[in-house]
Amino acid sequence: MSDARQTTRYTEYHPRWYRSRVSTWWWLARWPYLKFILREISSVFVAWFVVVLLLQIRALSRGPQAYSQFERWLQHPPVVLLNLIALFFVVFHAVTWFNLAPRAMAVRFRGKRVPDLWIVGTNYAAWAAISLVVAWFLVRS
């Protein structure tokens, strides 16, 4: 005789979930994603600048002729084009970096959060000032 309080056993039904795979081209699907990837790619051009800088230092240490050769190399159209693109990306990096700065740091003054615009503005002002200082050192003979 079976126990009257025999518990009912249920077979668990597990629905077949649908999972879609993320495409390799996920970053092309939406404009904000593409902007993000472009921002990340700017790091390649930061590295490119370091290469150019090191080439300049090497040319300087090898004498005036080597340096003139380096300067002529910089004038080649493909190099100019590459540096133009690099400049765009490096500026893009700077702009996106400064605009995101207030997010990364919750700056508080006397208990109140400093408005985002102040932090962004300070960064841009510092950028202008530092650029002028660097230019002053280089635009001389």
Partner 1 sequence: MPETISLEVLRYSPERDTEPTFQRYDVPLNKDWVILDALNYIKDKVDGSLTFRWSCRMGICGSCGMMVNGEPKLTCATFLSNYAKEGRPVRVQPLRYFPVIRDLVVEVTDFMSKLQSVKPWLIRKEEKPTSEGEYLQTPDQLNRYKQFSMCINCVLCYAACPVYGLDPVFIGPAAIALAQRYNMDSRDEGAHERMDVLAQHEGIWGCTFVGECTKVCPKNVDPAGAIQQYKLTATIERFKSFLLPRGAK
Partner 2 sequence: MAKQSNEPVLWTLFSAGGVVAAFVIPVHLFLLGLAFPLGWIPAPRYDYLLALVHLPLTRLYLFALCFLAVFHWAHRFRYTLYDGLQIKHLNELIFFCCYGGAIFGTVLAGYLLWNFR
Site for partner 1, rule CB under 8 A: 15-19, 22, 26-27, 29-30, 32-33, 36, 40, 100, 103-106, 108, 111-113
Q: In degrees, to the nearest 5, what angle opens at C-alpha 10 toward C-alphas 5 and 12?
A: 155
> For binding to partner 2 (CB under 8 A), which residues are involved?
22, 24, 27, 37, 40-41, 43-44, 46-47, 49-50, 52-54, 56-58, 60-61, 64, 67-68, 71, 74-75, 79-80, 83-84, 86-87, 90-91, 93-94, 97-98, 126-127, 130-131, 134-135, 137-141
Q: Compute and round to an integer the Cα radius of gyration of the chain.
A: 28
Query: Which of 48, 97 has the CB closer to partner 1?
Result: 97
Q: Are 93 and 44 in contact (CB under 8 A)?
A: no
Residue with tokens 């190399």: 73
The span from the CA of 91 to the CA of 89, in Å, is 5
